[in-house]
Amino acid sequence: MLRKFLFSLSLLSVSAAFAEPVKVVTSFSILGDVTREIGGDKVEVAEIVKANQDMHIYRITPQDAKRLKNSQLILLNGKGFESNEFVKAAKAANVPLLNATDHIESIHHDDDDDDEHHHEHEHKHEDKHEHAHHHGGDDPHVWQDPVLMKQYTQNIADALIKIDPANKDYYSGNLKKYQQKLDDLDALAKKSFAAIPVEKRKVLTSHDSFAYFGARYQVKFMAPQGVSEESEPSAKQMAEIIRTVKRENIRAVFVENISNPKLLNRLTREAGVSVTGKLYSDALPENGSYVDMMKHNIETLSGAMK
Ligand SMILES: [Zn+2]
């Protein structure tokens, strides 16, 4: 009798578990948005690094560790995007864990001049003055290519189906709809850049997160010495920026770190470019979706090159 009772009790808890949305924790905002699109109302998604926040300087808090532990599925980007500390906390949570970039071929960056020291980037992550997470090794910024995002979203759907097979058709349906949106983004980018000759597809920017985008749409992203995401350039570095812009005949300049109007005026006066607009690299804008972010980048970039 007792046995029978326990058996029906456990059946009850199983069905209750599936009536509740699957608790998913993602490492950052872009992955969170895409997971919501595929998981719909069958999942409850929380992200650790939110919109407008910077993964490079993020440190895991005890609350984060608790959130990871209380989840049923953890999604990371992988390819070194998350810090070692982050990955360690995710593994310690002891719940299913997936890298959304699995099965996606990396663009590889050489670590300065010594290939033997790839693992060094892990130490450099402590240094907030560098875009440390892809210093050498695999470039993690796969989401900048909407075509590669088809595999990325497939990986997310597969993980959800594995954990919640009863809703397989639901997840597969959402995936198909979302992949159509990714195709639309690709078509928009192709159309926008087709109007611009390849030799004019050059961008000067402080972000070094656009290698996948650049490879897909034949856009050359340049960051001369003195252009970094964190600090304003000195007068000498500014002169180097102006030289590069003039020499390469670049129309599209995105130097959001320069807030000094004197420096911006100098760029306009001496190089003849006006600096407007903002690109989104590693985090969503507040209340923005991945699709919005990509549309914005495509339109801003192609518009600036004309
Ligand atoms: Zn980055």
Question: Residue 269: which H helix or E strand, with range?
Answer: helix 261-271
Ligand 1 centroid – CA 141 distance (Å) = 6
Rounded distance between C-alpha atoms, residue 208 and residue 294, angstroms? 16
CATH of the domain spanning 197-305 = 3.40.50.1980
Ligand 1 centroid – CA 131 distance (Å) = 6
Neighbours of ion ligand 1 (CB under 5 A): 209, 282
The predicted pLDDT at position 208 comes to 82
Q: Which residues of 206-232 are buried (b: 16+ CB within 10 A; e: fewer)?
A: bbbbbbbbbebbebebbbbebbbbeee
The predicted pLDDT at position 113 comes to 40
| Beta bridge partner(s), residue 73 | 24
Ligand 1 centroid – CA 169 distance (Å) = 34
Domain residue ranges in the chain: 15-184, 197-305
CATH of the domain spanning 15-184 = 3.40.50.1980
Residues of the chain scoring pLDDT < 50: 1, 13, 15-16, 113-130
The predicted pLDDT at position 226 comes to 66
Report pLDDT digits (tens) over 232-273: 788 888 888 899 999 999 999 888 777 777 888 888 889 888
Report pLDDT digits (tens) over 56-95: 889 999 999 999 999 999 999 999 999 999 999 999 999 9
Ligand 1 centroid – CA 193 distance (Å) = 24
Q: Are 35 and 24 in contact (CB under 8 A)?
A: yes
The predicted pLDDT at position 14 comes to 52
Q: Encoding tokens for residue 142?
A: 């796969």
